[in-house]
Amino acid sequence: MSIDTKSREYTRQRVRLMLGDLPDTDTLAAAISSTAVATVTPTNIYKYSVGTTFKIDSELFFIDSVGTSTLTVKRGYMFTTAATHSINTAIAVYNRGGWSDTELNQWINDGIDWIRPELWFIDEIIISNVSSTAVNIDISTYVWDKPFGDVLRQVWWRAAGQTTEPWKLFRDWSAQYATLLLERAFGEAVDLRLVMQKFQAYLNDDTDVFDLEHQHIEAVVLWTCAKAIRSILVDRNRFTEYSTLVNDRAGTPKDLLDLTMNFERQAFSIKRQNYKVAPITHLRRAMKF
């Protein structure tokens, strides 16, 4: 099955490729039939070490000890949910210098926070067959991600159902929270077109996708890489493992810091080149939700 190139899963894969941190793979040699069990039997025990993590389905495990054929683990690590898992289920094995999906997912959302104020996209919402007497219209169903500062920029109208009729700009409106306030009723049933300035929402699932363009997503990928590298600057063991993983390209903390700053410079450059200025049309009536 193909993966959407704007999805969180694909974005995380791109980050891992840039960092040279693709996880090893394994399978379960025995089913995990209870959410309380603290031992796991993998097929290849040699791939695991104390203090590292691995993922089965959507659950993350932390390794407390490694036996001859079993692992003693902490279940539901990093806010994931303990679950049952079938024999032969695939395992993603993370090295100590690497990063779990949970960490990368959080930093991807941090990157969205970082890019959100300046980069946005326009979305149009159609509300059909608005009553001829309506002056207060609930648009909460159509306004996305209100905490992120979506802005209603313009309101257009035409007679209800008249698909060939041109849209007309309506100026006599204001907004309060998620209610569109009309200063006068239309006197006939109408269709409305709302032009919204929207900001990227968080990606909370692997199938969630970016609404931004690919060049903007590239900035988030680079920002995530920088956050990931900075996270191991304060962990000597993790730094040593990662340095070995990338064949000593980051042989010293300074090398690692230089790599981080390079990622950040590229991210800022893309953000600056693609900076979007909000349209001034109807600016005095622009209302945030």
44-63 residue pLDDT tens: 999 898 888 899 998 999 99
Q: In this predicted structure, what is the pLDDT of residue 211? A: 86
Q: What is the CATH number of domain 24-94?
A: 2.40.30
Count of other CB atoms within 10 angstroms of residue 92: 17
Kindly indicate the confidence band of residue 276, based on its pLDDT and cuts at 50, 70 and 90: low
106-161 residue pLDDT tens: 999 999 989 887 777 788 889 999 999 999 998 877 765 444 567 788 999 999 99
Q: Please give the mean pLDDT across all residues of the chain.
A: 84
pTM above the 0.75 mark? Answer: no
73-109 residue pLDDT tens: 999 987 889 999 999 999 988 866 678 888 899 999 9
DSSP label at residue 87: T
Kindly indicate the confidence band of residue 280, based on its pLDDT and cuts at 50, 70 and 90: very low
Sign for the CA dihedral angle at 209, 210, 215, 217 comes to: negative
Q: In this predicted structure, what is the pLDDT of residue 11? A: 94
Residue 89 near residue 63 (C-beta atoms within 8 A)? no
Q: Write the single-letter amino acid at 110.
A: D
User: Does position 270 have pLDDT exceeding 50, yes or no?
Assistant: yes
Q: In this predicted structure, what is the pLDDT of residue 251? A: 64
Q: In this predicted structure, what is the pLDDT of residue 182? A: 93
Residue 269 to residues 51, 77, 210, 246: CA-CA distances in angstroms?
A: 37, 36, 20, 25
- Map out the domains of the chain as residue ranges: 1-21+99-120+200-281, 24-94, 122-198
CA angle, 86 then 90 then 93, to 5°: 125
